[in-house]
Structure 1
C-alpha cells in the first residue's frame, strides 16, 4: 500500500465530512487507506463516518487522548509506505497526494513534506514553513518579531528545505515516523508537530516545504484562543525546551513572564469583521432550500468572471472540483472583504470560516 491518511477527530463532524469527501476523491487513483481516530467526540462524527464513509477505518477511543497519542494510535494501524497526518478541518485537492508523493519518491533521506496552507478566506498561513523555535526565537516571536520564526526566504508557491512543519498536513514515510517513535505523548496538544519535525532533523533526515499544492486549513475548530489556550501552548513549549535545549534560566524566565502577562491581559487576536452585502452562488443549478436560510437573495453564476467587495461566494462542490474551489480562494485572497461558504457534494449544509482564529460556520438547510 502506498499511502495511509490518518485523521484525528474531536467534535468537528461537519468539517470532517467535507475533509473526508476531499480525501476520498484525492486518493481515488492511489493504493491508499483512510483511518479516522475519534477522541471520544460527543457529536455525530462516528455515526456520520459509519453511514457515509463505510470504507474508512474508524477507531473510536474511549477517552480524549490528545493529539500525539491519538495520531500514534492511528499510525499503529497504518499499512502504507507513507503516512499523511491530516487535520479534520482541512480540504485537499484532487492532485494533492499525487503531486506530493511524486516529489517525495525522488528524495533521499526524506523526513516530512508539508504543503502550502491557506485559511478559509484564502490567506496564506505562515506556519506552513518555520524555523526551529529556540527559546531566543520564541521570545522574539512573542514580542512580535517573526522574521526568525517563519521561513520567509522560500516563496509561498516554491519548494525547499525547511526545519519545522505544521501538524495539520504532514506526509512522512511510515518507517521514519516509527524510527523516531512518532509524536511524543508528553505533548497533549500543541508543540508536538514542532517536536516531531525537530526529532527528524536530528535523526539526519530532511524536511521539505512543497508549495506546489495548496490545502485549506480552516483552523480554530477544535480549540478556542483564550487563556487556557495560552497556558497549554506555553506548557507545550516548556516541554520542548527542556527536551532539546540546554537550560537558559534568563530566557526561560523572560518567556514565562511575558506569557503570564499575556494570560493576565487575555489579549485576543484582532478579527476583521467582513460584512456581507450580496451573496453569489457559484453553481449550475438553483437551491430553493438554501435561499430560505440566507439573509439575501441569491445571485446565481456558473463561473466567476469578477467579484464585488463584501460579497459572499457559495462554492458548489456538486459542480466545482476541490482544485477549483481552492483556486478561487487563492485568486481573490487579496480582497479582504470577501467571505466563502462551501456546499459539500451531496450534503445539506454550507460550511466555511471567515478568519483563522475562531470557530467556523455551519449553516443547515
Structure 2
C-alpha cells in the first residue's frame, strides 16, 4: 500500500465528515487507506463514521489520549509506505496527495512534507512553514517581529526546505516516522509538530514545504482560542525547550520567565466582523430545504462574477471539485468581506469558519 491517511478526531463530527469526503476524492487513483482515530468524542462522531464510512478503519479510544499518543496509535496500525497526519478540520484538493507523492519520490533523506494552508476565508496561514523557535526568535515574535519565527524566505506558492511544519498536515514515510520515535507523548496537544520536525532534522532528514498544493485548515475547531488554549500552548513550548535546549539553571529560569511573560503579554487574535448581505448558493439547482431552514432567500448563481459585498457564499460540492472550492476561497477579494460555507454532497448541513477564534459554524437542515 502506498499511503495511509491518519485523521484524529475529537468532537468535530461535521468537519470530520467534510474532511473524509475530500480525502476520498483525493485517493481515488492511489493505493491508500483512511484511518480515523477518535479520542473519546461525546458528540455522534463514532455513530456517523459507522453509518457513513464503514469501509474505513476506525480506532475508538476510551479516553482523550491527546494528539501525540492517539496519532501514534493510528500510525502503528497503518499499512502504507507513506503516512499523512491530517487534522479533521481540513479540506484537501483532489490532487494534493498525488502531487506530494510525486515530490516525495524525487527526494532522498526525506523527512516531513507540508503544504500551503489557508483558513476558511482564504487567508494564508504562516505556520505552514516555520523555523525552529529558538529563544531569541520566540521573544522577537512576542514583540511583533515574526521574521525569525516563520520561514519567510519562501513565498506561499514556492517549494523548498524548511525546519518546522504544522501538525495539521504532515506527510512522511512511515518507517522514518517510527525510526525517530513518532510524536513525543509528553506533549498532550500543541508543540508535538515542532518537536517531531526538530527530531527529523537532528536525525539527518530534510523537511520540505510544498506550496504547490493548498488545503483549507479551519484551524482550531477542536478547541476554542481562549486562555486555556494559550496556557496549553505555552506549556508545550516549555516542554520543547526543556527537552532540546536545557543548558543550565540560569538559562532555564530565563526561558521559563520568557514563556510566562509571553502568556501574559500575548495579544488576543482579532475577531473578524461579519457583515451578512445575502445568501448565495454556487450550484446548478436551488436547495429548497436549505432555503426554508435559513428563512431567507438563497440566490442561485453558477459562477463567482456576481458576488456582492457581505455575501455568505455556499459552495455545492456536487458542482465544484474540492480543488475548485479551495481556489474560490483562496481568491477571496478582501474588499468584499465574503464568508464561505461548503455544502457537502449527500449531506444536510453547510459548514465553514469566518475566524480563528471561535468554533466554526454548522447549519443543519432537513
Q: Is the pair's TM-score, using the shorter chain for normalization, greater than 0.5? A: yes
> Which residue of 2 is the match for residue 199 of structure 1?
199
> Which residue of 2 is the match for residue 74 of structure 1?
74
Shift of 1:182: 0.3
Matched-pair contact (CA < 8 Å) for 2:15–2:90? yes
Shift of 1:118: 0.3
How far apart are the structure 2 equivalents of 1:118 and 1:20? 18
Could you list the per-position Cα deviations for residues 68-110 of structure 1 after superposition, in whole angstroms to 9, with x for gaps in the alignment? 0000000000010000000000000110000110110110110
Matched-pair contact (CA < 8 Å) for 2:225–2:356? no
> Which residue of 1 is the match for residue 271 of structure 2?
271
Relative distance call for 1:360 and 1:249 in structure 2 (3 A) is: farther
TM-score between both structures, scaled by the size of structure 1:
0.96
How far apart are the structure 2 equivalents of 1:307 and 1:252? 54
Shift of 1:230: 1.7
Shift of 1:18: 0.2
> Which residue of 2 is the match for residue 245 of structure 1?
245
Q: Find out whether 1:354 has 2:354 as its counterpart.
A: yes
Shift of 1:335: 3.9
TM-score between both structures, scaled by the size of structure 2:
0.96
Matched-pair contact (CA < 8 Å) for 1:130–1:162? yes
> Which residue of 2 is the match for residue 235 of structure 1?
235
> Which residue of 2 is the match for residue 163 of structure 1?
163
Unaligned stretches of 5+ residues in structure 1: none
How far apart are the structure 2 equivalents of 1:277 and 1:334? 15
How far apart are the structure 2 equivalents of 1:333 and 1:180? 43
> Which residue of 1 is the match for residue 339 of structure 2?
339
- Secondary structure in 1 matching 2:111: strand
Q: How does 1:1-365 map to 2 (within 5 A)?
A: 1-247=1-247, 253=253, 256-257=256-257, 259-261=259-261, 263=263, 268-294=268-294, 296-332=296-332, 334-335=334-335, 337-365=337-365
Matched-pair contact (CA < 8 Å) for 2:318–2:344? yes
Query: Which segment is superposed worse, 84-93 or 140-149?
Result: 140-149
How far apart are the structure 2 equivalents of 1:341 and 1:45? 20
Relative distance call for 1:230 and 1:261 in structure 2 (3 A) is: same
Query: Which segment is superposed worse, 301-310 or 240-249?
Result: 240-249
Matched-pair contact (CA < 8 Å) for 1:280–1:300? yes
Could you list the per-position Cα deviations for residues 99-158 of structure 1 after superposition, in whole angstroms to 9, with x for gaps in the alignment? 110110110110001000000001100000000001111111122110000111111111
Matched-pair contact (CA < 8 Å) for 1:4–1:35? yes
How far apart are the structure 2 equivalents of 1:130 and 1:251? 24
RMSD: 1.6
Shift of 1:280: 1.0
How far apart are the structure 2 equivalents of 1:331 and 1:56? 33
Query: Which segment is superposed worse, 288-297 or 46-55?
Result: 288-297
Number of aligned positions between the proteins: 365
Shift of 1:268: 2.6
Relative distance call for 1:245 and 1:100 in structure 2 (3 A) is: same
